[in-house]
Amino acid sequence: MPIHRSRPSWEILSGDSADVYFARAEKILEKEGLDPVVTMEVFARQDAVLCGIDEAKNLLGHALAEAPDGDVIVEALDDGDEIGPKEVVLRITARYRAFGLYETAILGMLAQSTGWATAAREVVRAAAPEPIISFGARHVHPDITDVLDYAAIIGGCVGASTPAGARLAGLSPTGTMPHALVLIFGDTVDAAVAFDRDMEPDVPRIVLVDTFKDEAEESLRVAEALGKRLYGIRLDTPAERGRVTADLVHEVRARLDLAGHGHVRIVVSGGLSPDRIRYFKEAGAPVDSFAVGSYISGATPIDFTADLKEIDGRPIAKRGRIPGRTDSPRLRSVRLADWREGGR
């Protein structure tokens, strides 16, 4: 998958976003003249879909740019790898003061993105073979919507709603139209015709049909107005009206087919989870794709741990852990120069 990452932010590179005790440790080690070569390993404690590791490689590519060749060895898995409990996903061998300050950032990148990617994989598997689109941007801070949507795509979503997130994954954004547009026009067909008239030809014509009238009626009106140019309709009936049901999907599909609009696809959104998606699947509802937001964006971060396992070549570990490098045959060597600005 193409990666287009920018230089890490000043807050990350300066250590301003790190737990303060790492900065204090760096200061103490500097004053004491200590800077050993250490080996650090990072792992999680559960099955998951790894994500955020490529962002960590990007950070290390910049943080360790001044380290002499041969003094740094980084091994890692890749975004999208399925990992097991306590499997090492990242191993860094370098002088501690060159990267110790970034432990908070690395663990945070992995925890949040892996949680999102793992949740995305859950809904993708529940919906298979129908595709999932990530609609979770509205549930997180705008500064991290790109990371969320990228993680969702890593987890198996075919698209994402934000240009920033889709771009990070090398895709174009996916979306339909907001209820606000339909409300402002005052009629679903008028909004659909304007959408068709003003949007670029490569934007799929997918129209929201639950704003004013019965969804089946609106679907037919829009299909008659746009004809073959209509790619699909989106059902997003609110909870106040009973949400989207399998029966509604069956009715909309039947009415479209009877009127000669068998090419029109049906997208379902609104509070979807693996259980809700399985409900549609078990009922045989002819849904062509699902748009999922809060189930992915609200996923619990997956806890990662970083341990020092060697100091100047000597095996070491905190109590309860096994000293020395963990056997990790899946780790692959990372060429950090590829992850610096102007690289990947």
The mean per-residue pLDDT over the stretch 299-316 comes to 96
Question: Number of structural domains, the chain?
Answer: 2
Same domain, 170 and 276: yes
pLDDT score, position 9: 85
Pair (147, 277) in one structural domain? yes
How high is the pLDDT of residue 343?
Answer: 43
Question: Are 326 and 284 contained in the same domain?
Answer: no
**pLDDT confidence bin for 175, thresholds 50/70/90:** confident
Tell me: do 109 and 127 sit in the same domain. Answer: no
What range defines the domain where residue 196 resides?
Answer: 119-297
What average pLDDT does the segment 153-177 reach?
Answer: 84
Structural domain contains residue 76: yes
Domain for residue 3, yes or no?
Answer: no
pTM, to two decimals: 0.91
| Whether residues 90 and 182 fall in one domain | no
Q: What percent of the chain has pLDDT over 90?
A: 79
Check whether residue 312 and residue 245 sit in a common domain.
Answer: no
Task: Please check whether residue 130 lies inside any domain of the structure.
Answer: yes
Asked, for residue 5, whether it belongs to a domain, the answer is no
Question: What's the pLDDT tens digit per position in 70-86?
Answer: 689 999 999 999 999 99
Q: pLDDT tens digit string along 99-137?
A: 999 999 999 999 999 999 999 999 999 999 999 999 988
User: Is residue 194 located within the same domain as residue 281?
Assistant: yes
The 3 state secondary structure assigned to the chain is: CCCCCCCCCHHHHCCCCCCHHHHHHHHHHHHHCCCCEEEEEEEECCCEECCCHHHHHHHHHHHCCCCCCCCCEEEECCCCCEECCCCEEEEEEEEHHHHHHHHHHHHHHHHHHHHHHHHHHHHHHHHCCCCEEECCHHHCCHHHHHHHHHHHHHCCCCEECCHHHHHHCCCCCCCCCCHHHHHHHCCHHHHHHHHHHHCCCCCCEEEECCCCCCHHHHHHHHHHHHHHHEEEEEECCCHHHCCCCHHHHHHHHHHHHHCCCCCCEEEEECCCCHHHHHHHHHCCCCCCEEEECHHHHCCCCCCEEEEEEEECCEECCCCCCCCCCCCCCCCEECCHHHHCCCCC
